[in-house]
């Protein structure tokens, strides 16, 4: 819901930080992997209840997630590999964050973490399934022109997810209500994406040709904020 606004807000700062990385010849894919590694370290710190260290690493990881897109565009545009890595590692990162809180206090947090991860599966699967079918039909969302493929928005986009993860690090004692509350918002997002997907795909003629393989799909480009 907030990604369009936060992207515009942070874009000048992200572009400024990307310039020295471009000068040093650091690739966008390298930044993507560094961001994921920082996310894994953040999860390990959270699991060990080193909340503030985990929070700092979490924010550094998401900064890399924004920088890789800026570097990709500055070096001539994104690639299919870059777009694939960006989203594939993002989904694992978010699941790892929730798992870390379950490991930090299994007796209290495990059930709420399981519910939240299930909600993440719902939002992620509906997002990716629709994007794949929309790509076959040549659909594009003018509200998110910077995204790698058709992006169906909702209440729980990257900005909201980052905000709730930060809140969990700052107030770990409130993980359970935060997790259940955010899972409910994810459920609303999932229902909205299902409804939007059914409506948009029903209004689009079915492609009778054989579905393209990975090698036939157009090269994806990273989003303006590094997200897809």
Tens of pLDDT along 147-188? 555 556 677 888 999 999 999 999 999 999 999 999 999 999
| Inside any domain, residue 226 | no
Question: Is there a contact between 46 and 109 (Cβ–Cβ < 8 Å)?
Answer: no
| Inside any domain, residue 194 | yes
Query: What are the DSSP E strand ranges found in the chain?
Result: none
Task: Count up the domains in the chain and report the number.
Answer: 1
Torsion of CA 194, 197, 198, 201, to 10 degrees: -170
| Inside any domain, residue 18 | yes
| Inside any domain, residue 224 | no
CATH classification at residue 67? 1.20.120.1760
Q: Domain range spanning residue 208?
A: 3-216
Query: Residue 109's CB: how many other CB atoms inside 10 A?
Result: 22
| Inside any domain, residue 82 | yes
> From CA 109, how far away is CA 23, in angstroms rounded?
45
| Inside any domain, residue 207 | yes
> From CA 22, how far away is CA 17, in angstroms rounded?
9
Mean pLDDT of 59-77: 89
pTM score? 0.81
Q: Would you report the helix, strand and coil content of the chain in percent, each value rounded to 5?
A: 75, 0, 25
What does the block give as tokens for 38?
A: 């920082």
Question: Is there a contact between 183 and 115 (Cβ–Cβ < 8 Å)?
Answer: yes
pLDDT in tens, 78-127: 777 888 898 899 999 999 999 999 999 999 999 999 999 999 999 888 88
pLDDT at 38: 98
pLDDT at 214: 40
| Inside any domain, residue 227 | no
Phi and psi at residue 76, to the nearest 5°: 115, 5
| Inside any domain, residue 24 | yes
């Amino acid at each position: 819901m907030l990604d369009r606004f936060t992207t515009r807000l942070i874009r000048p700062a992200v572009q400024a930080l990307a310039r020295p990385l471009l000068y040093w010849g650091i690739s966008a894919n390298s930044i993507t992997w560094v961001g994921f590694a920082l996310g894994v370290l953040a999860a390990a710190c959270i699991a060990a209840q080193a909340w503030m260290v985990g929070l700092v690493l979490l924010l550094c990881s998401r900064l890399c997630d924004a920088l890789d897109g800026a570097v990709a565009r500055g070096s001539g545009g994104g690639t299919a590999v870059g777009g694939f890595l960006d989203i594939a590692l993002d989904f694992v990162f978010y699941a790892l964050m929730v798992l870390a809180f379950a490991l930090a206090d299994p007796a209290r947090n495990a059930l709420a973490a399981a519910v939240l991860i299930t909600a993440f599966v719902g939002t992620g699967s509906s997002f990716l399934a629709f994007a794949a079918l929309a790509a076959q039909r040549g659909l594009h969302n003018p509200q998110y022109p910077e995204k790698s493929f058709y992006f169906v928005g909702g209440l729980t986009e990257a900005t909201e997810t980052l905000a709730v993860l930060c809140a969990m690090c700052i107030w770990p004692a409130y993980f359970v209500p935060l997790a259940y509350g955010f899972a409910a918002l994810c459920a609303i997002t999932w229902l909205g994406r299902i409804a939007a997907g059914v409506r948009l795909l029903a209004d689009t003629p079915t492609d009778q040709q054989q579905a393209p393989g990975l090698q036939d799909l157009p090269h994806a480009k990273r989003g303006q904020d590094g997200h897809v």
